[in-house]
Amino acid sequence: MIKIIMLAPSIIIALSLLSCNMAEAKKNYTFAVVPKSTSNPFFQSVESGCTEQANLLTQGSDSDDIFTCLFTGPVDQDATEQVAIVKNLIDAGEVDGIALSVIDEASGDEIINSATAAGLPIITFDSDAPNSERKAYVGTDNIALGKELAHMFQSRFTKSPTATGMYAILSDTNPNLILREQGIRENLREGWEEVSGSPTDFGSSATLGFEQAQDLMKKYPDIAVLFSAAGRPMRAPDDAWAKFAVQYPDVITISVDNLPEQMELLNRGLVNGLVGQQPFDMGAKSIDTLLKLSQGSDVMEFVPTDMEVIARVSPGTPFNSLAGDSPPSGGMVNLPYAPVSLLLLVSLLL
């Protein structure tokens, strides 16, 4: 009996040390995801992706680690406010990494480099700052996305391989949208003319984007195709884009993104084509990438997310004078992203 009593304090001490070691092994990870705008449905899908991935990591953790996605940013697109939010995150020292969708490249470079200097892992998603010290970019290849917009138009909605005409791009000054504009121009055949006033700059305003589309069509009624480098103009209130499509039935409209409002317009024959992105995956992959960096692992500099090509091919779709015979019936063609050569082959077969 005496022997057992003498051992008891040793057991208690050992158990206490074990408990401390277990507590030290358990870690709470918080990763901040900073979009351009928290009110934009695209970025709300990013939030869903990062939150779900954080929950999955928590549920699957062998060491009972807890993972949190802190989704924070300006309500409306504002570069100054976005930088201030990131600076506060750096100064507070309460997050283990930051994913940033860059609004302004110059100020984005500066705040990213500040995070790196503070020893905080930082990456970009959706919109990149390649000249900064960010560790990785998660998202779409934006030049390829722009090229896909042009390819869809030329392979599906022009009468002949030599057709030319006027075009315009609805856009803003975000780095990723500028790259999409570049892709459109690079992939359009020689002879296509971009009208004066293109690209536009609608910022975060769906209403302004719609109004700019109207202004371009009033000034250049012979525009063959309107490209939208983001889906914002189609989210203008009061079904404004539908009224625009009825007012200008001969212009082809092809846009980035496949958010629910855009899919509804496509189903109604009020948009000709969409090239969708995967914002949910951007959120999830951002969390995974930041976790690897926080644990000292190497990551790919470019973590790609897919594109989805969706073209309207049912009768009744407005086709401009460049279009040839009506496409076959059958509703929409929904294609996963594929090389341009493969998409061209599919287009010819259809």
Give the whole-number percent of the chain exceeding pLDDT 70: 82
CA of residue 258 relative to chain centroid, distance: 11
Which two three-digit tokens encode residue 89?
A: 């995150």
Hey, what CATH topology would domain 27-140+279-304 get? Rossmann fold (3.40.50)
Question: Of the candidates 175, 187, 311, 195, which has an alpha carbon nearest to the alpha carbon of residue 253?
Answer: 311
Question: Of the candidates 138, 98, 101, which has an alpha carbon nearest to the alpha carbon of residue 118?
Answer: 98
Q: Which residue has the tokens 């000709």?
A: 272
Hey, what CATH topology would domain 142-276+313-349 get? Rossmann fold (3.40.50)
> How is the chain split among helix, strand and coil, in percent rounded to 5?
45, 15, 40
Q: What are 163's strand-pairing partners?
A: none
| Mean pLDDT of the 40-46 span | 97
Tens of pLDDT, residues 293-332: 999 999 999 999 999 999 875 433 433 333 333 333 334 4
Tens of pLDDT, residues 4-25: 444 455 444 444 444 444 445 5
DSSP label of 207? H
Task: Output the pTM of the full model.
Answer: 0.83
| Mean pLDDT of the 75-100 span | 98
CATH 3.40.50.2300 residue ranges of the chain are 27-140+279-304, 142-276+313-349
Q: Which residue has the tokens 């010290």?
A: 133
Strands 332-336 vs 308-312: parallel, antiparallel or unpaired: antiparallel
Q: CA neighbours within 13 Å on the CB side: how many for 112?
A: 26
Which two three-digit tokens encode residue 220?
A: 């250049």
Q: Which residue has the tokens 């846009």?
A: 255
**How far apart are alpha carbons 36 and 204 in whole angstroms?**
9
